[in-house]
Amino acid sequence: MLDIKFLRENPDVVKQNIKNKFQDSKLPLVDEVIKLDSDYRAFKSEADSLRGGRNKLSKQIGMLMAQGKRDEAEEVKKQVTANALRLSELEKLEEEYQEKIKNIMMVIPNIIDPSVPIGKDDSENVEVQKYGEPTVPNFEIPYHAEIMEALGGLDLESARRVAGNGFYYLMGDIARLHSSIISYARDFMIDRGFTYCIPPFMIRSEVVTGVMSFAEMDAMMYKIEGEDLYLIGTSEHSMIGKFIDTIIPESELPQTLTSYSPCFRKEKGAHGIEERGVYRIHQFEKQEMIVVCKPEESPMWFNKLWQNTVDLFRTLDIPVRTLECCSGDLADLKVKSIDVEAWSPRQKKYFEVGSCSNLGDAQARRLRIRVNGEGGKYFAHTLNNTVVAPPRMLIAFLENNMNADGSINIPKVLQPYMGGKTKIEKK
């Protein structure tokens, strides 16, 4: 959410930013909120004046009564009553206009970083760099669900009977591999100085609207019927929510946390064959990283966060690339975002396995996360990034570590988590 003062003083900048995100339907909102803000400030000024005059009029009544000027005192009393009625009207208008302004400001997108490429959608995202050599073996790699089933590790049919489409049973060595990757990712981030955390898996609506846009909320979140609770779509939601309504001493920044959680997403719409199986699902687990820091340090932390994901995937012998998200592909709260994509030997292309985002002070402004610095209080910057999110990540792992006989090599870094196993053999 933008600062209303910034919008008031820079309406053309805000409008150009809306155009850069190809959301022209939101352009009228800028003038609308400026008019509402002007009216609100006029109401507030009048109300402040009336509030400030109450004591003066009360003293005047006392003086007039003491002087025996009862009629004049009665006239002043009438003025006090009229002022009180007007003040009540103004306070209702203040509250009403504040709510209208807030609702509009929640919809106007954040100002994107000048380095973000301008483009309409993800088809115009820009490749930044490749890490590792993408290879295609001289044998056919089956569809990922078939690989898992051949290893005795996946049962989609039972999951459909139990929960419907978009769910799965992982079993045996595949289930163990899934847990091993999560555990390895946890320790990888702890070794990089992050504090490990397991957060609540449900959050209140105030936190939901503090960490994402209304459009994202509708597309992603599962609501708990009859309660003000939502299942989290990622632990970033509850991790950033951890700091709601707090004032953090500047000396305690940055806050660098890595969190584990299950994640729940609606995943509306139809998807192609490559997005079935365990690629696009309603329930999965993830290791996340978040940073709360000073504004001037957020670009540095942004680069550190996506590099962590790249480094982790390379230790697992998986080639990856980074992709700069264009303006039209950025969610409204994001200032800048980079996707990490893993190489799929089967598809002979890269696919997304993580996303790193700098949200500037947008989430902090919505959730009232402030920092107490030497020069006064200010809003923190927040960032998040996926460390690893199996089972989707398992697709890249299995394809890149598969042998011609269908067995799967286990990289050295994972072997301690797999009981010393060096391979997963076909059943």
Residue 114 pLDDT exceeds 70: yes
Same structural domain, 392 and 287: yes
CB 383 within 8 A of CB 358: yes
- The pLDDT tens digits of the residues spanning 58-107 come to 666 667 677 777 777 777 677 777 888 888 899 899 999 999 999 999 99
Same structural domain, 65 and 197: no
Q: Tell whether 40 is covered by a domain.
A: yes
CB 341 within 8 A of CB 132: no
How many whole angstroms from its chain centre is CA 307? 19
Token duo for residue 55: 């004591």
**What is the enclosing helix (H) or strand (E) of 343?**
strand 336-344
Q: Tell whether 110 is covered by a domain.
A: no
Which of 105, 131, 160 is where one domain is finished? 105
* Alpha-carbon distances, residue 394 vs 347, 357, 390, 420, 421 (angstroms): 15, 23, 6, 19, 17
Strands (E), 48-206: 126-131, 154-155, 169-170, 195-197, 202-203
Same structural domain, 170 and 100: no
Span 16-29, average pLDDT: 97
Please give the pLDDT value at position 411. 96
CB 402 within 8 A of CB 278: no
Q: Tell whether 340 is covered by a domain.
A: yes
Residue 328 pLDDT exceeds 60: yes
Q: Tell whether 88 is covered by a domain.
A: yes
Domain with residue 227: its CATH number is 3.30.930.10
Rounded-to-integer distance, Cα 116 and Cα 361, Å: 17
Same structural domain, 28 and 62: yes
Please give the pLDDT value at position 64. 66
Same structural domain, 260 and 338: yes
Please give the pLDDT value at position 399. 97
Domain with residue 24: its CATH number is 1.10.287.40
pTM of the model: 0.89
- Pairing type for strands 255-264 and 195-197 reads parallel
Residue 54 pLDDT exceeds 80: no
Residue 274 pLDDT exceeds 60: no
| Mean pLDDT score across all residues of the chain | 92
Please give the pLDDT value at position 270. 47
Q: Tell whether 111 is covered by a domain.
A: no
Q: Using a pLDDT cut of 90, give the percent of the chain over it.
A: 81
Same structural domain, 399 and 346: yes
Same structural domain, 98 and 223: no
Residue 321 pLDDT exceeds 80: yes
Please give the pLDDT value at position 422. 97
Same structural domain, 244 and 322: yes
Please give the pLDDT value at position 271. 46
The residue behind tokens 């890490």 is 131
- The pLDDT tens digits of the residues spanning 152-190 come to 999 999 999 999 998 999 999 999 999 999 999 999 999
Range of the domain at 138: 122-424
Report which of 378, 375, 386, 373 is spatially closest to residue 361, judged by C-alpha positions: 378
Q: Tell whether 77 is covered by a domain.
A: yes
Same structural domain, 271 and 129: yes
Which of 105, 130, 147 is where one domain is finished? 105
Q: Using a pLDDT cut of 70, give the percent of the chain over it.
A: 96
Report which of 76, 72, 73, 75 is spatially closest to residue 54, judged by C-alpha positions: 76
Task: List the single range of 11-25, 58-72, 203-217 with lowest mean pLDDT.
Answer: 58-72
Q: What sign results for the dihedral spanned by CA atoms 158, 141, 172, 232?
A: negative
Span 45-55, average pLDDT: 80
Same structural domain, 234 and 305: yes
Half-sphere exposure of 17 (CA within 13 A, CB side): 24
Residue 13 pLDDT exceeds 70: yes
CB 74 within 8 A of CB 90: no
Q: Tell whether 240 is covered by a domain.
A: yes
Q: What share of the chain is helix, strand, coil (3-state, %, to 5)?
A: 50, 20, 30
Task: List the single range of 64-68, 164-168, 226-230, 283-287 with lowest mean pLDDT.
Answer: 64-68
Q: Tell whether 114 is covered by a domain.
A: no
Please give the pLDDT value at position 160. 93
* Alpha-carbon distances, residue 362 vs 7, 70, 103, 332, 406 (angstroms): 14, 57, 14, 9, 48
Half-sphere exposure of 272 (CA within 13 A, CB side): 3
Same structural domain, 67 and 165: no
Q: Indicate the number of domains in the chain.
A: 2
* Alpha-carbon distances, residue 275 vs 137, 189, 263, 395 (angstroms): 22, 28, 17, 11
Please give the pLDDT value at position 219. 83
Token duo for residue 155: 């049962």
Question: Between these two residues, 49 and 128, which has the higher pLDDT value?
Answer: 128
Please give the pLDDT value at position 269. 54
How sure is the predictor about 213, in pLDDT bands with cuts at 50, 70 and 90?
A: confident
Same structural domain, 307 and 401: yes
